[in-house]
Amino acid sequence: MRIDIITVLPEMLEGPLGCSIVKRARDKQIVEIVIHNLRDFSLDKHRKVDDYAYSKGAGMVMTIPPVEAAINFLKSQREYDEVIYTSPDGILFNQKEANNLSMKENLIILCGHYKGIDHRIREHLVTREISIGDYVLTGGELAAAVITDSIVRLLPGAISDETSALSDSFQDNLLSPPVYTRPADYNGWKVPEILLGGNEKLIDEWKHQQSLERTRLLRPDLYRKYLEESEETLT
């Protein structure tokens, strides 16, 4: 997989995408992540990429020419499955969306900034708009890092134990069950006996019940969705 990220602040992405699982995946050439400075595609001598909005007090807006130039440059080299724009009014990013994007081959992520981008970019150049939550960030760089991290960890070989990603929270609209490690008894705080017995079938059943109960209590919205999809599967 290849992910190209277009941004006005490339330094914000170098740290998050240069360590841990993402770094190992890049080192093993499982994924290629290339960060592009949007200012490199500006024809302005000051490398300007924004201008005043056509509405009073709306703030600065990213202009069309440098964005189009960057996207066209990338598309001249390969085909892309999606051109993603990080925006607070995009679809809410979740594990299902991460799973879907992890099956793609080439992605472009355009990081929003300032007051946003000229809406014509969204109409004619962007194929998917994604939000990571109902709040506003300084720019789309952190959102791009979140999206990239969640995708890369799903790629085969990115995690040494590939079954680990399959048991993450939200994979089946359920939260993960509690996890424990040694010692089994710490100052009277004990690991549940069932986890010490070695009966994998019973342990799996316990984990599933714990996931159901935690989701029901902590995320009733997810629990309802789980029940709805379970009913659809049975019908």
Report the CATH number that the domain containing residue 217 is assigned in CATH.
1.10.1270.20
Given 152, 175, 202, the domain boundary residue is 152
Average of per-residue pLDDT across 167-188:
85
- Same structural domain for residues 117 and 147? yes
pLDDT at 50: 95
220/120 same-domain check: no
Number of other CB atoms surrounding residue 187 within 10 Å: 6
What is the span of the domain harbouring residue 175? 167-234
89, 178: one domain: no
Question: Where residue 201 falls among pLDDT bands split at 50, 70, 90?
Answer: very high
Mean residue pLDDT across the chain: 93
- Region 8-12: mean pLDDT is 96
pLDDT of amino acid 165: 58
| Residue 139 sits in the same domain as residue 173 | no
d(CA 82, CA 80): 6
**Least confidently predicted of 63-72, 73-82, 92-101, 153-162:** 153-162
Decide if 157 is inside a domain: no
Question: Going along the chain, which residue ranges are E strands?
Answer: 2-7, 32-37, 50-52, 60-62, 82-92, 106-111, 128-131, 185-186, 189-190
Residue 176 lies in a domain: yes
pLDDT at 114: 85
For residue 160, being part of any structural domain is answered with no
Nearest-10 Cα torsion for 230, 232, 234, 235 = 160
Q: What was the pLDDT predicted at 162?
A: 58
Greater pLDDT, 34 or 137:
34
Range with the poorest average pLDDT among 19-23, 117-121, 230-234: 230-234
* pLDDT digits 0-9 by tens, 205-224: 999 999 999 999 999 999 99
Question: Does residue 161 lie within any of the structural domains?
Answer: no
> With contact defined as beta carbons under 8 Å apart, do 211 and 176 qualify?
yes
Confidence category of residue 168, pLDDT binned at 50, 70, 90: low
pLDDT recorded at residue 164: 56
